[in-house]
Amino acid sequence: TLTADTTLFAQWTVNNYIITYDDNVANETITVPATQTAAFNSSVTVGAAPTRTGHTFAGWNTAANGTGTALSAGASYTVTATSPTLFAQWTTNSYTVSYNANGGTGAPTTSTVQFGSTATVAAAASNPSRTGHTFASWTTNADGTGSSYAPSATFTMGAANVTLFAKWTVNNYTVSYDDNVIPAVITVPSTQSAAYAGSVTVGAAPTRTGFTFAGWNTAANGTGTSYSAGANLTIPASNTVLYAQWNVNSYNVSYNLNGGSGTAPVAQSADFDTSITAASTSSTRTGFTFAGWNTAADGTGSAVAAGVAYTIPAANSTLFAQWTANQYTISFAANDDVANAATGLPGNLTGRTYQQNVTLPSTSPTRPNYVFSGWNTSAAGTGVSYAVGGAYVMPNNNVTLHAQWTPASFGVVYNANGGITPPAPTNNDFGSTVTVSTTRPTRTGHTFRWWTTTADGTGTTYRNPALGSTVSTFTMPGSQVTLFAQWEVNSYNLTYDANLGSNAPSGQSIAFNATATASVSAPTRAGYQFNGWNTIADGSGVTYAAGGTFSMPAANVTLYAQWQAITYTVAYNTNGGDGAAPSAQSATTDSSVTVSSTIPTRAGYDFAGWNTQAGGFGTPRTPGGTFVMPASNVTLFAQWNAQTLSISYNGNGGTGIPTGQSGLVDSSVTISATTPTRTGHTFAGWNTAANGTGTARTSGSTFVMPTAAFVLYAQWQAISYSVSYEANNGTGAPSASSHTYLDTVTLSATVPTRIGYWFNGWNSASDGSGMAHTSGGNLTMPAANVTLYAQWVADLYRVVYNANGGEDAPAEQVLATDSSVSVSSQVPTREGHEFRHWTTTQNGTGSTYTNPATGSAVDNFTMPPSNTTLFAQWSMSSYVLSYDANLGAGAPSGGATQFGTSVTVSSTVPTRTGHSFTGWNTAANGSGVSYVAGNTLSMPANPVTLYAQWSAKTYSITYFANGGSSAPVAQSVTYGSTTSVSVTPATRSGYTFTGWNTQANGQGVARSSGGSLVMPDSNVDLYAQWSAQTFDVSFDANGGTSAPSTVSGATDSSVTLPVSIPTRVGFDFVGWNTLQAGTGTGYQAGSSLVMPPNNMVLWAQWQPRTYVLSYDMNGGTTNPPIGALASTSSSVQAAVSTPIRLGYTFTGWNTQANGQGIAASSGASFSMPPNDTTLYAQWAAQTFTVTYDANGGSGGPSQQNATTDSSVT
């Protein structure tokens, strides 16, 4: 009920409206955003962009034909008083059909076709080409799978770029072999067939006498591509003929002097089947005349005269010198004088040849008063001696052998006369000059002076060269001579050594066995008392008191001072510390002292060890450590280190506090100048309490360090800040407000406006890169003034990239109106072309945008209110063809060539040590495509390097026995390959094989058997190297005694025989012989022989001495038989005689008068003893009868029988 005028106000309910999305496409199922419901004048976000095959989404529009209001996906839409339908807007995509030659060249150009349109494949005239292949069709996959299209075929363009790959059929080609010899007489491998670029194994190497196979080549003259047997050959785009390549072998012709001497002619080397001129030689062979050469050492091969042509066979060969033996005569000379002429000389021996073994005559000449001792090549006996009937090796000249005669000999004996080791006695011929021995005897404490002929030194004196005089000589008398050593007493030095002390007494010189007195003068030594003398420094010898005596030995004597160490004290001082110091210690000089392990204490300090000075400037000592006691008392002072305490800082809510500090107690400490920070606050200094009630400290101030650590707390004061608003190109920004750090601020609900953009909230950065905020939202106040910038969203458009015949175009860009567009840095590709830039027209006449890949900055432009297409622009590329000598030298120069251009391979041939050039290949190892000079290649879309290909040359390793025999067969080895030196050793009698060397004299490079050898670029000659073996020459006295000791020598070396000779009773030594019977080679004592390759025994050869055989009738009355001369052990016939002795019967002979010696009957033979011998007649007394005649009487005794000269009673 109304009781007064009343105004009624209308009340409104806001209507809701529906926003519907339509894909705007018939007969396709496309997912669009769901329907949205929103209140009038409210703001909604436009739905996301749908997708459609072959099309690009171009935004939403309120009209299906795009004439209404355009809205971009995600934009803000203010709801009007209608329910709108938003229609999707579409742009049909265009795609490229590009062609890939797939290993070939000449692909058709790229075409552009809209999605769903008919695309036509390039016509057959545009088919690409490929070496060694036939074009078959185009396929959608590089491996030939997928859809296949013939030239000019059609297909419907899908929603993607299409690349059609050329599909190829590989061609087959043959590889055949030619022996490259006219007429063809050599078996070669069978023909092979394989696909282009496939691989076949090159056939095995054929063989040809006198030649080394050097591989196969595509040209008969070897200028093509080379292949080794067993190598892989990549099939080219044509049939191939491989021609055998041959290197004529070079063989060595060496010369062997075959027993001759001098330098053999230098070995010659020549090719097979050519000829050389056989060398002349000035070499000689003792006893022979040079008669030419022969291929066999024994002359059974082919004879070759010096200076005549010799045809090289298919192997190394040796020409052996041939020799004709010369003939010589042996004559015999008596070597006597008129007074004592010799008789019975042998006749001359004629027609003898060098090194022939000749047996000398078995008969000996005779000479009064001398014993024949054999033959010698020198009348003086200084040559080589030979025994009667001995063997003689003929030299290369006529020879005269001189009879040698030996006089009687006597001894010289040396008596050491109280000493030892006198010289050995010697035998000397009577009348010869005797040289007194230079060997000196020895005697303890004495020096040898000279020899005399009496023990007491009163006889004849002979001095010794050791005393500065010439060696005395005398003429050997007819009896033994004894020489007596004479002596002088030595003196020796007595010296004194202070033995680490000083002031040692002076030394003395004292005679051997004299009394020596130890010095009473005492040396000195710091920290020690003198304690006498000793013969050894450490006192382990003989001890002598000062003034003590001893007998002087036969040596110098040093007496060493002996010492007794003195005792000193080690005291301890705490040096300001607390409590008592460690107890003192006692120690002797130089003894080891252990420092006390007791540690003193001191408040606020750490113990730092001991020192010999209170201030620490002396010698430091550690507790428990040791030191050597000096020669004085020692005081050790404790050393102290003040303790370090810490100062720490607490930010008290702030950050960036200083690093903690430390300081020594009672030292001055400076507070850190580093100032901490705290958001929204100002730093107000430090305090020892967090709430500021403690002691205040300022940064950089100083104070004295207390005895305890402490903490300093930062102090703070809060700051006030503002919040302001910036429309950011819009209008109607709210007013600013003020707040403190961390306050909660409610932002203004007032919204600014900007034409063409919809408001999208606030941001702390004008470009929206900061913190986002909504109108009326909350903000926690930071420690700074805040400016909030309005944020705006613009509509979106597309930038599309077209590769324009290339591939890999950048993805399209979607950008807002008026935004800056950065052209994509992605570079498209096109075979054989270089990308230049982008333009807004396909023919390049529009606006140009460069790319950083071309060296310019990325071009920018402002996004217009429409989609934009950029087209790639291209220029033809050039690529470099270069040559690589591939370990060789002299490669041709290369150059740049445009893609697809034909290039001729250079005719310049590089070189490489030990190799033949065989052509070029795109791979260093020859596994790529091969080319020879003059070939052409089509320049691909990449740089090409052609690598020189090489075939290693073959050289020989030849072995020379170098004085031996059985050298290994030669080897053929390719240059640079590693081979093993033959393990087959050469042999040589009397030598040990030690390896090989590149020079016969061993001055070259040594090679061991089985060792590795890298083949050089030349033939290699290896000469056997030899180490002479050592053999023994032993001596057999051959019935005598005292044969010399064995001597040794290396094969072919000169060995000097001992001058000492054996002895044999009744015989004179006449030399040595290699055979016991003396029929071998003879040598004299002290002469030299060339050591054969074996041990040898030399047998003493003896000349029996001649003695007198005489007769004694031993009581007989007839004259004795005539005596005779006979040599020792010769057979002697006792005289045939019937001596007479009254009353006796002769019974034979005996070497002793009493018949106790050797008995010999008349005419019987016996062996001559080694001395003058007398044969005594032996008698048997006859028996007679004693008859008594009474002479007229009667009764006389009976008759008796008795022997001559017996007593009859």
Residue 1188: count other Cβ atoms within 10 Å of its Cβ: 11
Domain boundaries, the chain: 16-92, 94-170, 172-248, 409-489, 491-565, 567-642, 644-718, 720-793, 796-876, 878-952, 1106-1186
**Kind of pairing between the strands at 1131-1133 and 133-139:** unpaired
Tell the CATH superfamily of the 172-248 domain.
Listeria-Bacteroides repeat domain (2.60.40.4270)
> What span, in angstroms and rounded, lies between the C-alpha atoms of 80 and 910?
87
Q: Cis ω on the peptide bond leading into residue 183 (within 30° of 0)?
A: yes
* Band of pLDDT at residue 756, cut at 50, 70 and 90: low
**pLDDT number for residue 436:** 87
- Fold of the domain spanning 567-642: Immunoglobulin-like (2.60.40)
Query: What sign does the CA torsion over 826, 828, 834, 836 have?
Result: negative
Token representation of residue 806: 């290339």
Token representation of residue 677: 């920070």
Indicate whether 842 pLDDT > 90.
no
Indicate whether 895 pLDDT > 80.
yes
Mean pLDDT, rounded, for 800-807:
85
Domain 16-92 classification at class level: mainly beta
Percent composition of the chain: helix, strand, coil (DSSP 3-state, to 5):
0, 45, 55
* Band of pLDDT at residue 598, cut at 50, 70 and 90: very high
Tell the CATH superfamily of the 796-876 domain.
Listeria-Bacteroides repeat domain (2.60.40.4270)
Burial degree of 195 (CB within 10 A; 0-12, 13-18, 19+): middle
**Kind of pairing between the strands at 1200-1203 and 1183-1186:** antiparallel
Burial degree of 700 (CB within 10 A; 0-12, 13-18, 19+): exposed
Please state, rounded to an integer, the average pLDDT across all residues of the chain.
87
**pLDDT number for residue 425:** 78
> What span, in angstroms and rounded, lies between the C-alpha atoms of 1124 and 1035?
35
Least confident span in 106-110, 189-193, 1081-1085, 1189-1193: 1189-1193
Question: Same fold for the domain at 491-565 and the one at 878-952?
Answer: yes
1109: left (phi over 0), alpha (psi -120 to 50) or beta: beta
What does the pLDDT look like over 939-963, one tens digit per residue?
A: 888 899 999 998 888 888 888 888 8
Q: Which one is predicted more confidently, 1097 or 872? A: 1097
Indicate whether 1058 pLDDT > 90.
yes
What does the pLDDT look like over 517-552, one tens digit per residue?
A: 999 999 999 889 999 999 999 999 999 999 999 999
> What span, in angstroms and rounded, lies between the C-alpha atoms of 112 and 98?
9
Indicate whether 1188 pLDDT > 60.
yes
> What span, in angstroms and rounded, lies between the C-alpha atoms of 216 and 176?
11
Token representation of residue 907: 């005719």
| Closest listed residue to residue 679, CA positions, set 638, 717, 711 | 717
**pLDDT number for residue 237:** 86
Mean pLDDT, rounded, for 141-151:
91
* Band of pLDDT at residue 465, cut at 50, 70 and 90: low
> What span, in angstroms and rounded, lies between the C-alpha atoms of 1128 and 1107?
7
Q: What's the length of the chain?
A: 1209
Indicate whether 467 pLDDT > 70.
no
**pLDDT number for residue 755:** 65
CATH 3.40.50.150 fits 878-952, yes or no: no
Burial degree of 495 (CB within 10 A; 0-12, 13-18, 19+): middle
Where do we find the tokens 């545009």?
Answer: 126
143: left (phi over 0), alpha (psi -120 to 50) or beta: alpha
**Kind of pairing between the strands at 786-793 and 758-763:** antiparallel
Domain with residues 491-565, CATH architecture: Sandwich (2.60)
**pLDDT number for residue 184:** 66
* CATH code of domain 720-793: 2.60.40
One of 3.40.1360.10, 3.40.50.300, 1.10.10.10, 2.60.40.4270 is the CATH number of 409-489, namely 2.60.40.4270
One of 2.60.40, 1.10.10, 3.90.550, 1.10.20 is the CATH number of 94-170, namely 2.60.40
| Number of helical (H) and strand (E) elements in the chain, helices listed first | 0, 107
**pLDDT number for residue 119:** 94
Q: Which residues contact 906 (CB under 8 A, 6 or more apart)?
A: 883, 892, 933
Where do we find the tokens 């027609």?
Answer: 351
- Fold of the domain spanning 644-718: Immunoglobulin-like (2.60.40)
> Cβ(759)–Cβ(729) under 8 Å?
no
- Fold of the domain spanning 1106-1186: Immunoglobulin-like (2.60.40)
Least confident span in 229-233, 347-351, 846-850, 1088-1092: 846-850
* Band of pLDDT at residue 468, cut at 50, 70 and 90: low
* Band of pLDDT at residue 1208, cut at 50, 70 and 90: confident
Least confident span in 396-405, 590-599, 658-667, 769-778: 658-667
Residue 90: count other Cβ atoms within 10 Å of its Cβ: 19
> What span, in angstroms and rounded, lies between the C-alpha atoms of 1202 and 1184?
5
The helix (H) or strand (E) run that includes residue 892 is none
Q: Which residues contact 947 (CB under 8 A, 6 or more apart)?
A: 884, 886, 920, 921, 922, 923, 924, 926, 928
**pLDDT number for residue 453:** 86
1050: left (phi over 0), alpha (psi -120 to 50) or beta: beta
